[in-house]
Chains A and B, each alone.
Chain A
Amino acid sequence: MELFLSQILNGLAIGQVYALIALGFSLVFGVANIINFAQGALFMLGAFIAYSAIAWFGLPLVPAAAVSVVIVAILGLLLERIALRPLIGAPYVAPFLSTLAISTIIDQSAEIVWSPESQPFPASISSTTFFIGNAYITVTDLVIFGFGAAATVALTLFVSFTWTGRALRATAQDASAAAQLGIRTDVMRQIAFGLAGALGALSGILVALYFQSVFPQMGIPFGLKGFAAALLGGLASIPGAVVGGLLLGIGETLASAYVGDSYRDAIAFTLLLLMLLVRPNGLLGGGRLDALGGAAAAAGAMPTTSLLASSSSQQSALRAYYLPPWGFLAVGAAFTLVPLVVSSTYVLQALIYGFIFALLSASTSLVSGSVGILSIGQAAFFGVGAYAVGVFARPYGLPADATLVIAIGLTALVAVGAAIPLLKLTGHTAALGTLAIGQIGFLVFLNWVSVTRGPMGILNIPHPVLELLGGLRFATTEQKYWLVLGFVAVALVIAERYVSSPIGRVWRAIREDRLAALAAGLPVRRYILLAFAVSGALAGLAGGLFAYVQQVVSPESFTVETSILVLTMAVLGGLGNLTGAALAGFALAILPEFLRGFAEWRMIVYGLLLLVALRVRPQGLLGAR
């Protein structure tokens, strides 16, 4: 009982931090109608700038924290200016992806500046512990709770009772109407981003104090938890963010106390998915999330759930370029000749990865583009396929035909299962749901040691043998090249046939206007599940081939970074355009081979590419379809 009470008190403290991150999300979502994926990056920067101010310049904690909050608030303004302002009127998906790109760039830059290692936070609050009966609480907990609560109250008062606060809320509810009352909606957006930056920094510093350490990768998990908290309470609701944060904090502290600390994050994300399943609009939320443009899209001249639509009616239509299904066979046939000309195993190896990522990128484009459920968790499906091959090829010694069929089938099943909580969601919420799925997948690969061998991974996967072809063994790089090429080409033909068929048309109808699709009597749920099954099958095949090529499967291949990378490929190619996705996947996968020696810059280059592409050609190279 004492443990229980202590955990509750402890959970309240960390929950208050989640509430602060959640408030950052809510403010920006409310005013600018976008999920600011970079909130986690701002949070991380807040912690690191405070760290540097203390460790490098010898400032005491409080001034260091103040400096950090101010700098990150300014960065928040810059974020709006550089990454979002140019995208007003672009497709709804563009600003979201833009913050994704920025967040990738910031995270990777932080690893370069501060090294990827975790570092002890050089300041602490007294570790005096109070006892309430037998339950205990530390001064740190109290300070964190106090600061978090004070910031929340100040924000609530500001938003409720000042002109700027009212104008902020008005912009959130109807930006066009607000502009017609003389409110400068662009300034309101900036204020929201500045405040989000300040809240992010503050929460980052509090987390650093709580865990007594900082690491450059802290942005994504905490950002995601902040988002989970915001969603739990109902996005765009200030009291909701606080309630959600506290609930999440208590829930995961109890989970880590009674189930085990390694499950802390997995439980937090599972809670998020369950919440999405039961009450997609959150505890205190309204129904404003149905469209990707938020209320603006829902209230627009043509209500839409499409992530390719845009708030600007003064846009012209763009055409898409794509291959017919047999075109993939033709391109594949041309590629079979390469090993006859090129003997460098290094080049062939690069091309093999190019094929695998072409397939993975196409699988992402299918759900993200055709059906309009942005997938930021594709790496989990990729991983399921890879582990299926790892597990069944090594200990069970099955041939490749069997393992690949298992990989495809199992991944399709997992994808369908993962899609169930997403069925009621559209727009941003669905995207964040897939992100949670990706994280859960990674945590399972990492922690389900009896099957996946945890961080060690599965080593020495045998060369693939196809029993159907009379026990043909693919041992050399050339042979694997042909094997991968063959499977990828056939899979792309099948995928393209789906997308070009009446099924593909239904998928696009669901993307454009889900309500209309439902009203037209289309079995929307079934079609979404089918899309996930197809996408999962493709990703599973890609993962299986990847396992055979690598001969090693380990969790670090299936992180959020991989998911973001693959989504970048799909967007660059043109969402829903499998030809574009395959082309961009192929190109971006072999690109790092030309950037050797710049390995740590790779994600930054991808981030910049995505950012530039969104600005110059938000519909993708070959056009979204």
Chain B
Amino acid sequence: MAETDPRIVVDGIDVHYGAAQALFGVSLTVGAREVVAVLGGNASGKSTTIKSVLGLVRPSRGTITLDGAPVNGQRPDAIIARGVASVPEGRRAFPEMSVYENLLLGAYPRRHEAREIAGDLERVYEAFPRLKERRSQLAGTMSGGEQQMLALARAWLRRPTLVCIDEPSMGLSPRFVDQVYEVLQGWKAQGITILLVEQNARMALELADRAYVLQHGRVAVSGTASDLASDPQVRKAYLGAA
């Protein structure tokens, strides 16, 4: 549990897509250096929750605060400017730019720190030799797993204190899912705060400190990751236990 001031406080937000309502009074907090997972099935509202935090959709009710200041209705770039990085759903690498340029764009908010960026690029290449090999290749020609690594590395080059990650395991083979979570474990060890949206509850609960389970746009259960992992209902619904 977070003893210090929370980084993110989502308080009772409703989100509408046209006439359809996706979120109903969702509240959650993410403490400093904490890893919080938002779990749930399809159309449960997990992605909408993270999109609201990033300013990609606008809640019709409720507030969102980032480090104590309200961010409702702010543009994504304004939120990113406050030390946040995003690993978007579906990776979203820029397909017609090289791997190098994709990585570089991760550092866009701190583009004036040329020397530090060069050093960080070297560190990324060390951690992901695959990306180094392919740095001049167009990102669109890489496999899904490689693109996910690229998206993670791109977010890291932001040197964020808080990362929002939307379904990092989506569409990946088990081997790549393991690799993704290895990277995230590393980030957790570095003290980066993480808000993670995930359908793969087993992997997410291994990484997370706390988790929220969404159902039909409402928070159904919440608690520490270990409590949730042993909760019979959660086990039955999301972990495939008999």
Contact B18 A317 (CB under 8 A): yes
Interface flags, A166-197, vs B, CB<8A=1, else 0: 11011001101111111111100000000000
From A181, A183, A286, residue with most partner B Cβ within 10 Å: A181
Minimal beta-carbon separation of B80 from chain A (angstroms): 4
Q: List residues of chain B with CB within 8 A of the CB of A128.
A: none
Does chain B have a CB within 8 A of A163? yes
A313 adjacent to chain B (CB < 8 Å): yes
Q: Which of B17, B56, B80 contacts A182 (CB 8 A)?
A: B80
Chain A residues, Cβ within 8 Å of B104: 166
Q: Is B111 close to A, CB under 8 A?
A: yes
Q: Which of B17, B54, B94 contacts A314 (CB 8 A)?
A: B17
Per the bound structure, the CA–CA distance linking A180 and B101 in Å amounts to: 16
Specify which chain A residues have a CB less than 8 angstroms from the CB of B19 in the assembled complex. Answer: 316-317
B76 within 8 A of A: yes
Say yes or no: B108 contacts A163, CB within 8 Å: yes
Taken together as a complex, chains A and B put the C-alpha atoms of A181 and B95 apart, in Å, by 15
Chain B neighbourhood of A174, CB < 8 A:
92, 94-95
- C-beta contact mask, B48-85 vs A, less than 8 Å → 1, else 0? 00000010111000000000000000011100110000
- In the bound complex, what is the Cα–Cα distance between A178 and B17 (angstroms)? 22
Given A167-B108, A173-B94, is A316 in contact with B76 using a C-beta cutoff of 8 Å?
no
Contact of B92 among A176, A184, A313 (CB under 8 A): A176
Question: B96 and A286: CB pair below 8 A?
Answer: yes
Q: Does B106 contact A (CB under 8 A)?
A: yes
**Complex contacts, A173 vs chain B, CB 8 Å:** 94-97
Determine if A315 is an interface residue (Cβ-Cβ < 8 Å): yes
* Chain B residues, CB < 8 A from A163: 108, 111
Please name the residue on chain A nearest to B18 by beta carbon.
A316
B158 within 8 A of partner (CB): yes
Residue-wise interface mask of A (263-289) relative to B, using a CB-CB cutoff of 8 A (1 in contact, 0 not): 000000000000000000000001000
For A, the interface residue count at a CB cutoff of 8 angstroms equals: 24
Task: Please determine whether B94 and A176 come into contact, CB atoms closer than 8 angstroms.
Answer: no
Known: A177-B92, A316-B19. A182 touches B101 (CB 8 A): no
Contact across chains for A179 and B97 when beta carbons are under 8 A apart: no
In the complex, B86 has a CB within 8 A of chain A: yes
- State whether A313 touches B88 (Cβ < 8 A): no
Bound together, the chains give a CA A167 to CA B77 distance in angstroms of: 12
Interface of B is mostly: loop
- Within 8 Å of chain A (Cβ to Cβ): is B109? yes
Query: Does chain A have a CB within 8 A of B16?
Result: yes
Q: At the interface, yes or no: B105 with Cβ under 8 Å from chain A? A: yes
Selected contact of B105 from candidates A181, A315, A317, CB within 8 Å: A181
A316 to B97: give the CA distance in the assembly, Å.
35
CA distance A561 to B75 in the complex (A): 39
Residues of A within 8 A of B57 (CB): 313-314
Nearest CB on B from A32, distance (A): 16
A286, B94: Cα distance in complex, Å: 14
Contact B101 A166 (CB under 8 A): yes
How distant is the Cα of A177 from the Cα of B88 in the complex, in angstroms?
7
User: Beta-carbon contacts of A304-334 to B below 8 Å, as 1s and 0s?
Assistant: 0000000001111100000000000000000
Q: Which residues of A contact B18 (CB under 8 A)?
A: 313-317
- Report B108 CB to chain A, min CB distance, Å: 5
Residue from A183, A186, A316 in contact with B108 in the complex, judged by beta carbons closer than 8 Å = A183
Known contacts A163-B111, A313-B57, A316-B18; is-contact A179 B96 (Cβ 8 Å): no
Within 8 A of B (CB), among A348-374: none
A170 pairs with B17, CB closer than 8 A: no
Q: Which residue of A lies closest to B102 (CB)?
A: A170
B105, A166: Cβ atoms under 8 Å? yes
Contact of A181 among B58, B75, B96, B108 (CB under 8 A): B108
Residues facing A in B1-59 (CB within 8 A) are 16-19, 54, 56-58
Q: Determine the chain A residues whose CB is within 8 A of the CB of B54 once the complex forms.
A: 180
Would you call B210 an interface residue if the criterion is a C-beta within 8 Å of the partner chain's C-beta atoms? no
Q: Are the C-beta atoms of A169 and B94 separated by less than 8 Å?
A: yes
Residues of B within 8 A of A184 (CB): 75, 77
Whether A176 pairs with B58 at a CB distance below 8 angstroms is no
- Residues of A contacting B154 in the complex (Cβ-Cβ under 8 angstroms): 181
- Min C-beta distance of B164 to chain A, whole Å: 8
Q: Give min CB distance, A31 to chain B, whole Å.
A: 13
Closest Cβ of chain A to B66, distance in Å, is: 14
As a 0/1 sequence over residues 378 to 408 of chain A, the CB contacts with chain B under 8 angstroms (1 = contact) are 0000000000000000000000000000000
Q: How far is the CA of A177 from the CA of B89 in the complex (A)?
A: 10
Task: Name the A residues within 8 Å of B109 (CB-CB).
Answer: 181-182
- A315 — which chain B residues lie within 8 A by C-beta? 18
Beyond A176-B56, A181-B80, A182-B77, whether A169 also contacts B92 by CB under 8 A is: no
User: Which residues of B have CB within 8 Å of A314?
Assistant: 16-18, 57-58
> How far is B111's CA from A163's CA once the two chains are assembled, in angstroms?
7
Residue of A nearest to B104 (CB): A166
Chain A residue, CB-CB nearest to B86:
A180
- Please tell me if the beta carbons of B105 and A179 are within 8 angstroms of each other in the complex: no
Q: How far is the CA of A314 from the CA of B59 in the complex (A)?
A: 10
Query: Within residues 472 to 527 of chain A, which ones have a CB less than 8 A from any CB in chain B?
Result: none
Hey, which chain B residues are within 8 Å of A317, CB to CB? 18-19
When chains A and B are docked, how far (Å) is the Cα of A186 from the Cα of B76? 11
* Bound complex: CA A393 to CA B95 (Å): 59
- The CA of A315 and the CA of B92, in the complex, are separated in Å by 24
A residues in contact with B97, CB < 8 Å: 166, 169-170, 173
13 more contacts with CB within 8 A, not counting A167-B108, A314-B18, A316-B18, are A163-B108, A166-B97, A166-B104, A169-B97, A177-B92, A179-B76, A180-B54, A180-B56, A182-B80, A182-B109, A185-B77, A186-B75, A316-B19
B-contacting residues of A (Cβ < 8 Å)? 163, 166-167, 169-170, 173-174, 176-186, 286, 313-317
Closest 4 CB pairs of A and B: A182-B80, A177-B92, A180-B86, A182-B109
The chain B residues found within 8 Å of chain A, CB to CB, are 16-19, 54, 56-58, 75-77, 80-81, 86, 88, 92-97, 101, 104-106, 108-109, 111, 154, 158
23 residue pairs of the A-B complex, CB under 8 angstroms, read A163-B108, A163-B111, A166-B97, A166-B101, A173-B94, A174-B94, A176-B88, A177-B94, A178-B94, A180-B86, A181-B105, A181-B106, A181-B108, A181-B109, A182-B80, A183-B77, A183-B105, A183-B108, A313-B17, A313-B18, A313-B57, A315-B18, A316-B18
